[in-house]
Amino acid sequence: MDLGKRFEEATAYASVTVASLEPHKQYAIVRAKRLSTKFGMSVVLTLRSSDTNVVKVFLPPRCSDVVTDADMQSINSGAVDLNLVYKGVCESSNAYLLAVEP
């Protein structure tokens, strides 16, 4: 991918928090990328939130740890069609409840 395309991709999408996702809605996962942040390694998912809108969301560390490079390759190549579903917050731990569904 050339620099112009990467720059356009980096600035075209809004970053949102997991909590801002609509509960129980399936968000198509368009891309997955592992990034180094000041908090350590993280996985950023590019999600299709509507027919015309795409957003980026950082997964919590406990979720980032289970996404493998092979998983990301499958997502990015289009070999699998997966959706991220935000299911709310756990009452006892305040952790985000997330699922990946076909």
- The architecture (CATH level 2) of 3-101 comes to Beta Barrel (2.40)
Q: What is the mean pLDDT of residues 4-32?
A: 85
Residue 3: pLDDT band (50, 70, 90) is confident
Residue 4 or residue 101, greater confidence: 101
Q: In this predicted model, what pLDDT tens digit does every residue of 35-82 receive, in sequence order?
A: 998 989 999 999 998 888 899 999 999 988 899 999 999 999 999 999
Label each residue of the chain as H, E or C. CCHHHHHHHHHHCEEECHHHCCCCCEEEEEEEEEEEECCEEEEEEEEECCCCCEEEEECCHHHHCCCCHHHHHHHHHCCCCCEEEEEEECCCCCCEEEEEEC
For the chain, give every domain's residue range.
3-101
The structure's pTM equals: 0.84
Q: Is the dihedral of CA 44, 50, 52, 53 positive or negative?
A: negative
The Cα–Cα gap between 3 and 71 comes to: 25
Reading the block at residue 68, the tokens are 């493998």
